[in-house]
């Protein structure tokens, strides 16, 4: 019998195995009384459309009166660290989003991730929306709305840029997932002050943290950024595991896709792209700058120390064929700030 051309494409073998494992774990968790719960993430948007982010996991309701019960309404706090990694994501479950009287129901993807856009009119600044699954309490998610007249934005990497990992790259994902306490992470000297000065001199400027880290650690990373006084902003992370067409998802492709999306969502904004010289950021930012020169104000690269470069697998070999776009290099935030002081002054 000839194959139906309209049939859905066959999943990669690794994805089929991954789905089978998730199905087994989901049945096991549900038998133990675990229920779908939404972990809300920070979203962003314009005055006419927002990007809503979150994840659906199976979690066991706490005993009434227990300490965990007091944290139950703060789902991002009750499912964290290695528990986030071992918690079971729920795919194809309905998630209801409510914002300013608008109600929209979407489905989480295979990994339980909710990443959708909602058309709604909102004033610039911070807002709160709600999300919930059938039968669960609503949880709140912050959303930052960029004002129409804002000219600049910040896209910042995390590992080895705002925090010093000092680990070989093959072990980085493991570390980020299984370290339980954000206090164990070391902020990059001067980087928080650098970002804060940029935001203070450009009111309303959006700050987006773009990383190849897994969504599992979003709550931990958010607390780390807040504790170390980094500007508030959404995290754009990725989901671990195989994709429908390949064994493992591509970190660089994740960054490229989101940079292009930001350029489409905010056509009037030019971005300061901040990263490090350990392997990929320079190449990714350079490619984006050549494709969208009007969307890049500057590229600021934190130079790794010799020992950090060894652990990162060496330094990248950048291609700076980006006329009129300055590239700044320094080992810390203070050095980058000194070079960028007057570049995007209001």
Give the SS3 label for residue 28. Answer: helix
* pLDDT for 291: 93
Rounded CA gap, 35 and 33, in Å? Answer: 6
Query: For residues 244 and 90, what is the distance between their CA atoms, to the nearest angstrom?
Result: 17
Q: What is the DSSP string of 126-189?
A: EEEEEEE-TTS--EEEEEEEPPTT--EEEEE--BTTTEE--S-HHHHHHHHHH---GGGSEEPT
Q: Where are the domains of the chain?
A: 33-145, 152-340
What is the CATH code of the structural domain delimited by 33-145?
2.60.40.10
**Digitized pLDDT (tens) for each residue of the chain, 346 residues in all:** 444 444 445 544 544 555 555 564 555 555 565 678 898 999 999 999 999 999 988 876 655 555 555 554 454 444 444 444 556 778 888 999 999 999 999 999 888 899 999 999 999 999 999 999 988 889 999 999 999 999 999 999 998 899 887 555 555 555 555 554 555 678 999 999 999 999 998 999 999 999 988 888 888 889 889 999 999 999 999 876 544 444 445 678 999 999 999 999 999 999 999 999 876 899 999 999 999 999 999 999 999 876 665 555 555 566 666 778 999 999 999 999 988 876 655 5
3-state helix, strand, coil in the chain (%, to 5): 35, 30, 40
d(CA 299, CA 322) in angstroms, rounded, equals 10
Quote the pLDDT of residue 215: 85
This prediction has a pTM of 0.82
Please report the pLDDT score of residue 75 as a whole number: 46
What class has domain 152-340?
alpha beta
What was the pLDDT predicted at 236? 97
Q: How far, CA to CA in Å, does 166 sit from each of 225, 229, 313? A: 18, 21, 12
Instruction: Provide the β-strand partners of residue 109.
Output: none
Parallel/antiparallel/unpaired status of strands 139-145 and 125-132: antiparallel
């Amino acid at each position: 019998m000839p194959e139906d051309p309209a049939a859905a494409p066959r999943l990669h073998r690794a994805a089929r195995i991954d789905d089978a494992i998730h199905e087994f774990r989901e049945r096991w968790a549900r038998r133990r009384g675990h229920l779908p719960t939404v972990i809300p993430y920070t979203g962003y948007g314009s005055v006419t459309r927002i990007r809503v982010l979150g994840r659906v996991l199976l979690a066991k309701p706490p005993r009434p009166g227990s300490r965990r019960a007091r944290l139950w309404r703060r789902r991002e706090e009750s499912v964290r660290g290695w528990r986030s990694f071992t918690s079971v994501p729920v795919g194809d479950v309905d998630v209801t989003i409510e914002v300013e009287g608008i109600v929209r129901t979407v489905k989480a993807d295979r990994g339980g991730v909710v990443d959708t856009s909602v058309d709604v009119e909102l004033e610039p600044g911070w807002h709160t929306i709600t999300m919930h699954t059938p039968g669960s309490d609503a949880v709140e998610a912050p959303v930052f709305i960029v004002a129409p007249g804002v000219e600049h934005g910040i896209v910042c990497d995390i590992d080895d840029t705002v925090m010093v990992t000092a680990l070989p790259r093959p072990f980085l994902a493991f570390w980020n997932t299984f370290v339980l306490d954000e206090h164990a992470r070391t902020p990059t000297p001067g980087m928080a002050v650098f970002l804060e000065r940029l935001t203070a001199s450009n009111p309303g400027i959006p700050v987006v943290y773009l990383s190849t880290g897994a969504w599992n650690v979003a709550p931990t990373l958010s607390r780390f950024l807040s504790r170390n006084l980094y500007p508030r902003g959404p995290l754009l992370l990725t989901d671990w595991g195989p994709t429908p067409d390949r064994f493992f998802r591509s970190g660089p492709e994740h960054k490229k896709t989101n940079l292009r999306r930001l350029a489409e969502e905010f056509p009037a904004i030019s971005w300061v792209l901040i990263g490090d010289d350990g392997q990929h950021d320079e190449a990714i930012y350079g490619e984006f700058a050549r494709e969208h020169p009007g969307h890049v104000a500057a590229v600021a690269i934190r130079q790794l120390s010799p020992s950090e470069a060894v652990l990162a697998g060496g330094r990248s070999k950048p291609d700076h064929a980006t006329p009129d776009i300055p590239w700044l290099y320094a080992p810390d935030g203070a050095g980058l700030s000194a070079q960028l002081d007057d570049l995007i002054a209001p």
